[in-house]
Amino acid sequence: MRSQPYPLLRAQWALTARHLAASSRPILIGPWRSEVGFELLYWIPFLHALRARYKIPAERLIAIGRGGSSAWYQTAGHADLYEHLPIDVARVLSIQSSQQTGSIKQHETHAWERHVCALTATSLGIRKYHVLSPSWMYQLIAPWWEGQKPIQWLDGKLLHAVTMPAPPIAPELAGQLPEKYLAMRWYARPTWPHREDLLLWMRRTVQAIASHIPVVLIESGFQTDDHADVNLGRIPNVLRLTDLAEQTPLNNLAIQSAVIARAQGYVGTYGGMAQGAMRWGVPTLAFYDTFGQTAPAHLSLTQSLSRQTGVPFITSTPKDVEALIPILVNSGREMRSLQRVETA
């Protein structure tokens, strides 16, 4: 992962960070092409730490996200990868990276990144600028993912705010949302395969919850990566985000996150948006079927942040929940019986 000794890398980063801080030129952050979870758990907190340590004002920063994720960065400038790189091309680049390196993460700065930054600068009328590539973060935090450093070490590299502010929401969309609702997002991934028994379980779960509180299903209506939305059909007291707002590759993440951040709770597939819900202060219940092809380090960090912030983040499997329901129901009955006896 690292092409040079870590002490040398750290020294180079210190020089680069000081150079960025001493300059007055705009700094293009990104472009980001990788997973949502990495963006929310690592990349944005990495930038927060840089800004806090070197006193870099938000006015100098231009975040290049994708799908509208730049709204998460708290920077003065915002741009989007898909403004200058068609989504099909970005998908091909991810596939090529996966085939060549076994990962879609941006461990190096590639020509396409420099090209997107140049086009972004031109569109904004900027002639001279700096670029802060995600490759710095990926290399500097590698010892954590490799299991060589504890979470206390990671805390020294990142700055996690208590909660991230809710992304802005369009008044038209806000007016269509119930006063109180639960946000849900179900999609297929290696830990949650597209299987008939899981489809039936998801539908029963949504129906049961929607009988008590309105549910907003977070769907985009199109696919931007290997995470495909699960179509559960029409369910009473369930609103589908695709019916409430038009989503495009340039705004889907911004719209989805704005709705999730204003929910009373979030339930869905374990992954980036579930971690995002917790980061936006929303109690979260995330499900997986088999915990494979995903790093336990991300779950450890998410649970640590949950404890620090007091925002519940619970991961479970359908079997675990079904095993616990009878216990909880019986406990509830016993508590009600005891209360009746005490008040008699």
Output the pLDDT for position 106. Answer: 83
Residue 1: pLDDT band (50, 70, 90) is very low
- Two structure tokens written together for 223: 């696919």
Task: State the DSSP code for 164.
Answer: P
309-338 confidence digits (pLDDT tens) = 999 999 999 999 888 777 766 654 554 555
Same domain, 193 and 269: yes
Domain range enclosing 283? 176-324
The mean predicted confidence, pLDDT, of the chain is 90
Residue 167 belongs to a domain: no
Output the pLDDT for position 328. Answer: 64
Residue 68 belongs to a domain: yes
Report the sign of the C-alpha dihedral through residues 251, 252, 258, 261, in that order.
negative
Looking at per-residue pLDDT, the higher value among 292 and 83 belongs to 83
CB 43 within 8 A of CB 77: no
118-131 confidence digits (pLDDT tens) = 999 999 999 999 99
Same domain, 141 and 220: no
Residue 80 belongs to a domain: yes
Q: Give me the half-sphere count of Cα atoms (radius 13 Å) on the Cβ side of residue 310.
A: 1
Same domain, 66 and 139: yes
Same domain, 142 and 205: no
Ranking 28-42, 47-61, 184-198, 225-239 by mean pLDDT, the lowest is 225-239
Same domain, 276 and 143: no
Beta bridge partners of 315: 286
Q: Is the predicted pLDDT of residue 135 greater than 80, yes or no?
A: yes
Same domain, 151 and 11: yes
Same domain, 143 and 186: no
Beta-carbon contacts of 162 under 8 Å, excluding residues fewer than 6 positions away, are 308, 309
217-246 confidence digits (pLDDT tens) = 999 877 666 667 888 989 999 999 999 999
